[in-house]
Amino acid sequence: MTRPRPALLVLGAGALALGLGTVGIATAGSGMHVESVGARPAVTVVATSPTTIEEYDVARETPTSPYRSLARVDATQLPRPDRTPRPVGIAIPAIDVRTDVDIVGLDERDRVQVPEDVARTGWYRFSAKPGSGSGSIVIVGHVDGIDQGAGAFYDLRALRPGDTVTLTRADDRTVTYEVVAREIFAKSKVPLRELFSRSGPERLTLITCGGAFDPASLEYTDNIVVTALPVDSDAEIGKTQ
Amino acid sequence: MIRPTLGRVGIAAAALALPLGLAAVPAQAADMATVSVLHAIPEGAGADVVDVFANGDLLIDNFTPGTLETVEVPAGTYDLAVFGDGQTPDDAEPVLAAEAVEVPGGVNATVTANLDADGAPALNVFVNDISAMAAGESRLIVRHIAAAPAVDVLADGTVIFADVTNPNEGAVVVPAGDYEASVNLAGTDTTVLGPAPLMLDEGTVTIAYAWGSAEEENLALATQVITDLSTGPEGVPAGGGSTEQLPLMAFGIAALGALAIAGAGARLAATRR
């Protein structure tokens, strides 16, 4: 029998490696495969009139009136700073998450800052606060870091409708939310205005990254979004403290 | 928060003279419009309780100073009339009236019943800018509808609108946050209103009205807020890729493989010679 020529062996190994590598590229991100489940409550983002609506009898209007009163307010009351305590902690038992919530704002490109320590999460400072009764409370967390491994929200993709999330506020009161939807969006298709809207019912919006990691842009292709509605609280929902 | 110093800006727009015909209409303009009415005639000036009629139909009932009512109305042309409590177009002359006010579909406007610079009752119509704002921003609009001379409007001690006269307005977009607002007689350090804490919320239009009468010493601030006008942030970058090493590793393996093939091919070609 003839001994295979070393160059042929190298050629074979090379072809195998090329094949494996190509398969590797094609399936990259398969570990992140996530399907959307459940549904967010519909929120129509429209300019809304004042929030300090006093008890007002609209029944006075005749049924034939072409006009519809939306609100009557005491305009001499100046808007006051919202004193509802912000969230400081988050617990998601289903995925064994219990961590701190920092305050985050915007980066130089008007994107939401995410805490550099991937073990922590951030409450978007322009979003609603737990127990305020309306609007989206947005908490962001890394799926992973460049060199820190898995982040606090690594397993957000595994949450299912019915799982619970408990926020602890700065006044130590808690509000518990139940997941109603887990969605995945290509980053160019994320409905940011709805997710961050201050209108509509109080809801908790958790956001992290998902999809495939693009080594060129150093970013993931998708966002994973979990929406949860309040189910239990020892704070008075809808009453600012 | 980082709060850039507010720049001094001129008066962005004068109060619109009636009619409203040239008002900018948002793209989603429907056949309805949102009209707010502010009662800004101080008590004791003969309009303590009034009813407002539009085209002969009751628009607002039992309206008192300092209150603001927001009403949805079909787009159209309106004759507005303010009557003393209980009086109607059938049996009395209006206290105040404005004819042929054009209200285009989709517009958001505020009608003020106020005193003019000389203290006489007047109706003014303002179009509210409800265009969307970038994340973190807030819009402040200031309107002079008081029986008072020209004023400067200050935020955190800096003049942001200079020499505003009745019935004019100024508008500016600022970083959302808590400010201290005050009103000085124009060009002087004489403060006639405030300083008062003013929360300018993100994505919110806050309209501050200076109303009342300097002579009667009842100058006051009133506010109207219109919320949820933020576009939201530009995105959420929440991953660094360390749990997804496969692609980088795969690129490496594939590259090695390609190199090996090229090398081996070259050697084979060479040995066949």
For residue B185, being part of any structural domain is answered with yes
Strands A174-186 and A164-169: what pairing?
A: antiparallel
For residue A12, being part of any structural domain is answered with no
- Phi-psi category of A23—alpha, beta or left, where left has phi over 0 and alpha has psi -120 to 50? alpha
For residue A9, being part of any structural domain is answered with no
In this complex, do A67 and B67 lie within 8 Å of one another by their Cβ atoms? no
Predicted confidence (pLDDT) per residue in A35-71, tens digit = 888 888 877 665 554 443 333 444 344 556 789 889 9
Predicted confidence (pLDDT) per residue in B29-53, tens digit = 469 999 999 999 999 988 999 999 9
In this complex, do A10 and B72 lie within 8 Å of one another by their Cβ atoms? no
Q: How would residue A234 be classed by pLDDT, with cut points 50, 70 and 90? A: confident
Using a CB-CB distance cutoff of 8 angstroms, which residues of chain B are in contact with residue A2?
Answer: none
Domain extent at residue B185: 32-226
Q: Of the candidates A24, A45, A77, which has its C-beta nearest B249's C-beta? A: A24
Distance (Å) from the alpha carbon of A194 to chain B's nearest alpha carbon: 8
Q: Which of A34, A69, A51, A35 is nearest to A135 (CA)?
A: A51
Distance CA A166, CA B111 (A): 45
For residue A104, being part of any structural domain is answered with yes
For residue A53, being part of any structural domain is answered with no
Alpha-carbon distances, residue B72 vs A66, A68, B35, B36 (angstroms): 9, 5, 6, 9
In this complex, do A142 and B254 lie within 8 Å of one another by their Cβ atoms? no
Using a CB-CB distance cutoff of 8 angstroms, which residues of chain A are in contact with residue B196?
Answer: 78
Predicted confidence (pLDDT) per residue in A136-178, tens digit = 999 999 999 988 889 999 999 999 999 999 999 999 999 999 9
For residue A153, being part of any structural domain is answered with yes
CA torsion angle for A152, A125, A128, B202 (degrees, to 10)?
-150
Domain count for chain B = 1
For residue A75, being part of any structural domain is answered with no
For residue B5, being part of any structural domain is answered with no
Q: Which of B142, B140, B226, B222 is nearest to B175 (CA)?
A: B140
In this complex, do B58 and A145 lie within 8 Å of one another by their Cβ atoms? no
Distance CA B10, CA B172 (A): 9
SS3 label, residue B246: helix
For residue B232, being part of any structural domain is answered with no
pLDDT score of B155 more than 80: yes
In this complex, do A79 and B222 lie within 8 Å of one another by their Cβ atoms? no
Q: What does pTM read for this prediction?
A: 0.78
Domain extent at residue A92: 82-241
Name the token pair of B102.
């054009």
Distance CA B244, CA A149 (A): 9
The residue among A82, A127, A187, A192 with the most chain B CBs within 10 A of its CB, best to mutate, is A192
Instruction: Output the domain CATH number for residue A186.
Output: 2.40.260.10
Domain count for chain A = 1
